[in-house]
Amino acid sequence: MAGCLPNDRHGSLSPETRKHCVESLDNVLASSLGREKFHDYLETRGFEEEIKTLIFWEKCNKLINKHKEEMNAAMTRRFHEKARCTVEFAEEEDVNLDLGELQRLHRAVKGDDHKTTVSVLKEVRQSAFHLLGDSYRRFREHLVHAKK
């Protein structure tokens, strides 16, 4: 997939890149540069809660993508350590998950079944995705108006 939001030497976006990024939040989140630009947009607007949600989404996504179907004991231990850090981040930064999601995530990382943990991480990643929806719509409007 083409990167999202690359700048040319004048700092403007190519029309095709802008079009790609305004099509969906999925397109922005699928690109590290897209996430970076989205993060920058949120930061300049003072949307701290949304920044925390974006970071949480990234942490979940990274864990999910590093998961392997078959993991030895050491790999499983490291995976769960990183998952626990993700839960701690969600709690310390007060990521806007509902209580049920947070409880399921806690139970999953306390267990030793990495497949269950991945399943719950996918659920909470999807929740974070939905929480970013309104901010993405404002970001998209910003991209549309910036080209004019």
Give the pLDDT confidence score for residue 4 in this predicted structure: 42
Instruction: Give CA–CA dist 106/124, Å, rounded.
Output: 12
60 pLDDT exceeds 50? Answer: yes
127 pLDDT exceeds 70? Answer: yes
Confidence of residue 5 (pLDDT cuts 50, 70, 90): very low
DSSP assignment of 18-61: HHHHHH-HHHHHT-HHHHHHHHHHHHHHT-HHHHHHHHHHHHHH
Give the pLDDT confidence score for residue 147 in this predicted structure: 60
Check if the beta carbon of residue 95 is closer than 8 Å to that of residue 52.
yes
Percent pLDDT > 70 in the chain is 89
Better-predicted residue by pLDDT, 124 or 71:
124
